[in-house]
Amino acid sequence: MEESAPLRSLKGVGDKTEKLFQKLGIYTVGDLLHYYPREYDRYTEPVTVKEAVEKGAGKAAVAARITGNVDVKIAGKSTIVSTVLTDRGEALQLIWFHMPFLRNVLKRGGAYIFRGKVAEKRHRMVMEHPQIFTREEYEKLQNGLQPVYSLTAGITNKLLVKMIRQVLEQKELAAEYLPEEVRNAYRLSEYNFAVSQIHFPENQESMVLGRRRLAFDEFLFFILGIQLLKEKKTEEKNLFDMKPVWETEKVIEQLPYRLTNAQTQVWHEIERDMTGHTLMNRLVQGDVGSGKTILAFLAMILAGTNGYQSALMVPTEVLARQHWEGLRRLIKDSKLTGLEPILLTGSSTAKEKREAYAMIAEGKAKMIVGTHALIQEKVVYQNIALVITDEQHRFGVQQREILSKKGGSPHVLVMSATPIPRTLAIILYGDLDISVIDELPAKRLPIKNCVVDTSYRPKAYAFMQRQIEAGHQVYIICPMVEESEGMEAENVLDYTNRLKTVFPSQIVVESLHGRMKPAKKNQIMEAFAENKIQVLVSTTVIEVGVNVPNAVVMMVENAERFGLAQLHQLRGRVGRGDVQSYCIFMHNDAGEEIQKRLEILEKSNDGFFIAGEDLRLRGPGDLFGVRQSGSMEFKIADVYQDANILKEASEAAGGILALDPELALEQHRPLREELEKYMKSQAETLGL
């Protein structure tokens, strides 16, 4: 079976299942194989209730008979099934939410193995949401490490395991594409071995070997991809005739704040690039809230005043609209003429799009802000000289390729909030010069943080209410959109409803999540920006770039479920003005490790420090911790943790290209084919 085969070529996959898998980004058999486990579970020997209690935070398995009735209670929208087991005189209550069918599965007197966390609640020992096994089922799982995948409603871990097994059993071995010298030089395992061991490892050692190979490949493709594209483009002559202009100085003069020294310096680098002899290819790296946006705007104004077009491309519609409005305001306040920016996104109406295309083609629109819609086929630029993208679209060079087909190779500016050390940045952004904004605006007060458990909620709400009464606004982040079977995390929809009863009615509470239509999301974000909504309950859709300086409190529910980098990005949504801001990390699991991780955030607001501490705390053994790298998304590799693998992959890429710069030799054909597939899939994820 080919990796490119559609998912429906697998047994048991119909329309419905296919759609569900697409939600996880899985379209083909290959996607499924590369949908790696989030972590592994070890099914340890069952223990007694007493031992499970002593074990504390981790999961334990208890083998015992059900001694109570199996009760079913309906509480609001949820069904609660509960029963009791007794083991050597110790009773343990078992509770499941939203699983009414268990009533017909569990029998009083039946012997099972229950696996879950044991906690004391109202003087009783309780295991919430245990998994249920027969002895035979459990024994099978006890060999080796069991994969745990990230799920979505309707897709269980069991289903994923079954499907991946099916592929691995059927799949004819894919040909090895890495040259043998490379595999030997870097002690890499064979591809097929790596894929099967990552899903169903025989033991820890073989999993580590498999993971190393897959991480290496991921970095290698990334670097080769960039290098190959760069080869064609390096040091291209700047054919745009641009001069520094007083308009940018005027804009800087009339800003309500003064640029920091770091901002000024980076701005001069950009200005020098754009008015110099070679095309700009620059990355601007700066922590959340360091003020990258104004630099993007200045670059656009420089291009516009010189008569050229520029495009600012961002990952979400909400952000596109926010930037468009920000830029519009800036142009208006500075009384600049002829530079009215236009907005182009997927949800612009057909008429709006037509008008925008015409204005872009005729060169009437000089500054264009939008999403991927900016590089769709129908957009023809008159004289585009500058493209600004986000690091998520790190194939900036590739976009430039596409744009160059649309007329001329523009300057490229990439914005990044990922704190990576310079040595690694040079590898990962091999095609870019790097500027760093290493200073926050002077008036910023450091965000005050606290890490608390859910018992603190009433106090947190009272605090929020006081802040709202003082004119400020609040974000609350939940990990899920809606209730889902077997998942206990807070969800945006129920939380919003609950909160409406907590606050007095004049406080407007609204929700925001990725499943809303873009127009609805825009509407909510606009209302929030205008303080017509005081409390916004949201998923991580607000993580990237959203800027509402009047929002000064953030509370993250189930903080234990997020990576530290992600929490740092989220927290960056507050503390963006001169007012004291607060971030409350609320966790639902007092495990010591989680507590320690969250305390890193409590101690520091510095992205670099956090990344470093997180790595130190996780240690080399923790291979699949909560993902760290924020928006620098690799599937399995982790820029921080796998820094050595990254360096090796970079060296290997250098070796391969030195020998065969175009990957044209017969011995590199399989590698070239794999690389092309990788680049195509990267382009597809970007919607190109």
Ligand X SMILES: Nc1ncnc2c1ncn2[C@@H]1O[C@H](COP(=O)(O)OP(=O)(O)OP(=O)(O)O)[C@@H](O)[C@H]1O
Residue 288 touching ligand X (CB under 6 A) = yes
Q: Look at residues 237, 367, 388, 243 and name the one whose alpha carbon lies nearest to residue 306.
A: 243
**What is the smallest separation between the CB atom of 288 and ligand X, expressed in angstroms?**
4
Residue 258 vs 603, nearer CB to ligand X: 258
257 touches ligand X (CB under 6 A) = yes
**What CA–CA distance (Å, rounded) separates 386 from 248?**
16
# residues near ligand X by CB under 6 A: 19
Binding segment for ligand X (CB under 6 A), chosen from 31-39, 121-129, 292-300, 449-457, is 292-300
Q: How far is the CB of 419 from ligand X (least distance, A)?
A: 11
Least Cβ distance, residue 316 to ligand X (angstroms): 12
| 489 DSSP assignment | S
Q: Residue 300, interface with ligand X (CB under 6 A)? A: no
Out of 292, 400, 411, 587, point to the residue binding ligand X (CB under 6 A).
292
Beta strands in 521-643, from DSSP E residues, in sequence order: 535-538, 551-556, 582-587
Q: Binder to ligand X among 189, 206, 290, 309 (CB under 6 A)?
A: 290
- Region binding ligand X by CB under 6 A among candidate stretches 24-32, 207-215, 239-247, 289-297: 289-297
Least distance between ligand X and beta carbon 616 (Å): 24
| Dihedral over alpha carbons 600, 604, 610, 616 (to 10 degrees) | -50
CB of 287 to ligand X, least distance (A): 7
By CB under 6 A, name the one of 80, 259, 487, 502 that touches ligand X.
Answer: 259
CB of 463 to ligand X, least distance (A): 23
Question: Residue 143: phi, psi to the nearest 5?
Answer: -85, 120
* 47 DSSP 8-state letter: B
Q: How far is the CB of 443 from ligand X (least distance, A)?
A: 6
Q: Give the sign of the dihedral formed by CA 325, CA 330, CA 336, CA 339.
A: negative
Among 46, 147, 225, 286, binds ligand X (CB under 6 A): 286
CA dist 106 and 643 (Å) reads 49
The minimum distance between CB 14 and ligand X, in angstroms, equals 42
215 vs 574 by CB, closer to ligand X: 574
The reply on whether position 655 binds ligand X by CB under 6 A is no
Tell which residue, 525, 528, 602, has the closest CA to residue 571. 602
321 is a site residue for ligand X (CB under 6 A): no
- Considering only the stretches 126-134, 180-188, 288-296, 506-514, report the one whose residues sit in contact with ligand X under the rule CB under 6 A: 288-296
Type and span of the H or E element at 208: helix 204-233
* Strand ranges of the sheet holding 473-477, from the earlier edge strand across to the other edge: 448-453, 582-587, 551-556, 473-477, 535-538, 509-512
Q: How many CB atoms lie within 10 A of CB 289?
A: 22
d(CA 265, CA 241): 23
Which residues, including other chains, have CB under 8 Å from residue 195's CB and lie 6 or more apart? 33, 34, 168, 210, 214
Among 132, 182, 195, 294, contact with ligand X (rule: CB under 6 A): 294
- Minimum distance, C-beta of residue 544 to ligand X, in the bound complex (Å): 7
Binding to ligand X by residue 576, rule CB under 6 A?
yes
**Does 404 participate in binding ligand X (rule CB under 6 A)?**
no
CA–CA distance, 538 with 520 (Å, rounded to integer): 13
String of contacts with ligand X for each residue 334-373, x by CB under 6 A: ----------------------------------------
In the window 144-163, what residues touch ligand X (CB under 6 A)? Answer: none
30 binds ligand X, rule: CB under 6 A: no
For residue 82, how many other CB atoms are within 10 A of its CB? Answer: 18
Cα–Cα distances (Å) from 225 to 62, 663, 676, in that order, read 51, 11, 8
470: which 2 tokens? 């003082």
> HEC string of 543-574?
CCCCCCCCEEEEEECCHHHCCHHHHHHHHCCC
Q: Site residues for ligand X, window 516-555 (CB under 6 A)? A: 545, 547, 549
Residue whose Cβ sits closest to ligand X: 291
Find the shortest distance in angstroms from Cβ 475 to ligand X. 13
- Residue whose pair of structure tokens reads 């006890």 in the numeric block: 142
Q: Does the protein bind ligand X through residue 392 (CB under 6 A)?
A: no
Backbone dihedral angles phi then psi of residue 603, each to the nearest 5 degrees = -75, -35
| For ligand X, the closer CB: 291 or 625 | 291
Distance in Å, CB of 387 to ligand X, minimum: 17
Question: Of residues 427-446, which lie at the interface with ligand X (CB under 6 A)?
Answer: 441
> Cα dist. 64→82, 90, 123 in Å?
15, 11, 21
The CA distance from 92 to 484, in Å, is 25
Give bridge partners of residue 62 from the DSSP assignment. 47, 114
Position 399 contacts ligand X (CB under 6 A)? no
Q: Which is nearer to ligand X, 290 or 435 (CB)?
A: 290
Can you read off the two tokens belonging to residue 249?
A: 């100085």
Q: Which region among 106-114, 165-173, 257-265, 678-686 touches ligand X (by CB under 6 A)?
A: 257-265
Backbone angles phi, psi at 558, to 5 degrees: 50, 45
Q: Which residues face 6 on adjacent strands?
A: 28
User: CB-wise, 150 or 540, nearer to ligand X?
Assistant: 540
**Contact characters 199-238, ligand X, x per CB under 6 A:** ----------------------------------------
Choosing from 196, 238, 248, 293, the residue that interacts with ligand X (CB under 6 A) is: 293
| From 56-64, 259-267, 489-497, 500-508, span contacting ligand X (CB under 6 A) | 259-267
**Cα–Cα distance, 426 to 432 (Å, whole number):** 8
675 near ligand X, judged by CB under 6 A:
no
Q: How far is the CB of 378 from ligand X (least distance, A)?
A: 29
Taking CB under 6 A as the criterion, which residues in 459-518 touch ligand X?
Answer: none
Verify binding: residue 572, ligand X, rule CB under 6 A: yes
Residue nearer to ligand X on the CB measure, 46 or 545: 545
Alpha helices in 334-473 (DSSP H): 350-362, 396-405, 422-428, 457-469
Q: Give the residues lining the site for ligand X (CB under 6 A).
A: 257, 259-260, 263, 286, 288-294, 417, 441, 545, 547, 549, 572, 576
